[in-house]
């Protein structure tokens, strides 16, 4: 089984390196895994003048799954949009039709203190945000900046969803809920936006086939509030690309650190790209202090969802729980004044716990 490793920029190479050491440890125990690297994002631009070089795309096509680090950095901010690092990520999502973005937010008991919310609000939290990833205002046409009749510049984007796009993500939400607490909250802005009125209608129609799952609807502004007021009211949240982008960053903070949260982006064939939900963190890049756990947990999701290696996935997750229970903390999840470990030391501990 071949994993394409696209480390990207900033802390990307440091954190994916630790995940690769975990892969090597599993391989030495007999799991048939191999990895191959290719540049993406700013690194792709530096190597080939393109955030998604042709050779990188080809490697991904020949692999069974993609492990992705992070992209972006100040060095690339002034590039024209098609050359910007983020385009590498967006084009990969679109190319492989990775419409289903799973962003679980769970609170490890040892880390409840690391949240900015009171521990009793977040302790035991276990929610799944299912974000549609290939449609919406991210990809809708037309878009651009033009000069209007008044001679003034005007920017515009198009929010757009077809019923098929809505149905396939809603279906996954209901199916995921069946394996959890059987509750789906669909988030929209149907009081204002036509696109999301259709979203609400299609989700409601499909619900007829999932009578055993409870469906509620919530406007996105209220959902943003409810997530910090009482996050444990949610089980599965399903929403569009834009709202999901925002709500998943918000949800990450419930868990204490964005450095803990993995994600999976899947297509209908379960081919997928796996990445931490955090970014490239240019401010700490190269210092060896980044938390590699979100990437290591993304590897667990990769093994589970794309390679059918549930046992190996569970083993990694258990190892992560163990190192947290042992008290190992990178800076982002440490209690003030307590000792912290670096990226590599955290990787060492996970491998030892495996």
Residues at the site binding Mg ion, with contacts judged by CB under 5 A = 245
When the beta carbons of 26 and 301 are compared against Mg ion, the nearer one is 301
C-beta of 266: minimal distance to ligand IPM in Å? 14
Is 235 designated active site?
no
97 binds, among ligand IPM, Mg ion, none (CB under 5 to 8 A by kind): none
Active-site residue (options: 45, 189, 235, 332): 189
C-beta of 1: minimal distance to Mg ion in Å? 28
Is 287 designated active site?
no
Is 138 designated active site?
yes
Chain contacts with ligand IPM (rule: CB under 6 A): 86, 89-90, 245
Is 249 designated active site?
yes
Active-site residue (options: 46, 201, 221, 308): 221
When the beta carbons of 64 and 245 are compared against Mg ion, the nearer one is 245
C-beta of 6: minimal distance to ligand IPM in Å? 13
C-beta of 250: minimal distance to ligand IPM in Å? 12
Is 221 designated active site?
yes
When the beta carbons of 187 and 215 are compared against ligand IPM, the nearer one is 187
User: What sign does the CA torsion over 128, 310, 319, 40 have?
Assistant: negative
Active-site residue (options: 45, 138, 161, 274): 138
86 binds, among Mg ion, ligand IPM, none (CB under 5 to 8 A by kind): ligand IPM
Active-site residue (options: 64, 157, 249, 348): 249
- Contact present, 25 and 350 (Cβ < 8 Å): no
Compute the distance between CA of residue 49 and CA of residue 159 in angstroms, rounded to an integer.
30
Left if phi > 0, otherwise alpha if psi is -120 to 50, otherwise beta: which for 184? beta
324 binds, among Mg ion, ligand IPM, none (CB under 5 to 8 A by kind): none
Tell me the residue number closest to Mg ion, measured at CB.
Answer: 245
C-beta of 90: minimal distance to ligand IPM in Å? 6
Tell me the residue number closest to ligand IPM, measured at CB.
Answer: 86
Positions marked active-site: 138, 189, 221, 245, 249
């Amino acid at each position: 089984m071949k994993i394409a490793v696209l480390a990207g920029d900033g802390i990307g190479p440091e954190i994916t390196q630790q995940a690769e050491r975990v892969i090597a440890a599993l391989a030495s125990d007999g799991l048939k895994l191999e990895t191959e690297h290719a540049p993406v994002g700013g690194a792709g631009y530096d190597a080939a003048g393109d955030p998604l070089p042709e050779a990188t795309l080809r490697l991904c096509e020949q692999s069974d799954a993609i492990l992705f680090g992070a992209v972006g950095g100040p060095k690339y901010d002034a590039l024209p949009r098609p050359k910007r690092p983020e385009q590498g990520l967006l084009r990969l999502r679109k190319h492989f039709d990775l419409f289903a973005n799973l962003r679980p937010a769970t609170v490890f008991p040892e880390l409840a203190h690391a949240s900015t919310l009171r521990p009793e609000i977040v302790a035991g939290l276990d929610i799944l945000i299912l974000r549609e990833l290939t449609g919406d205002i991210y990809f809708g046409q037309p878009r651009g900046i033009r000069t209007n009749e008044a001679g003034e510049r005007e920017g515009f984007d198009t929010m757009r969803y077809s019923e098929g796009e809505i149905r396939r993500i809603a279906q996954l939400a209901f199916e995921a809920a069946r394996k959890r607490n059987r509750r789906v909250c669909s988030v929209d802005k149907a009081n204002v936006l036509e696109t999301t009125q259709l979203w609400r209608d299609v989700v409601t129609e499909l619900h007829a086939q999932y009578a055993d799952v409870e469906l509620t609807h919530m406007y996105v502004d209220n959902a943003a509030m409810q997530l910090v007021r009482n996050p444990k009211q949610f089980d599965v949240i399903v929403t569009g690309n834009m709202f999901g982008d925002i709500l998943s960053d918000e949800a990450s903070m419930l868990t204490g650190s964005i450095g803990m949260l993995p994600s999976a982006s899947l297509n209908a064939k379960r081919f997928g790209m796996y990445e931490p939900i955090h970014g490239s963190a240019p401010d700490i890049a190269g210092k060896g202090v980044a938390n590699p756990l979100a990437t290591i947990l993304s590897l667990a999701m990769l093994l589970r969802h794309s390679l059918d290696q549930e046992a190996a996935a569970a083993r990694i997750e258990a190892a992560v729980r163990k190192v947290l229970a042992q008290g190992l903390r990178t800076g982002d999840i440490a209690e003030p004044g307590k000792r912290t470990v670096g990226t590599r030391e955290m990787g060492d501990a996970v491998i030892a716990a495996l």
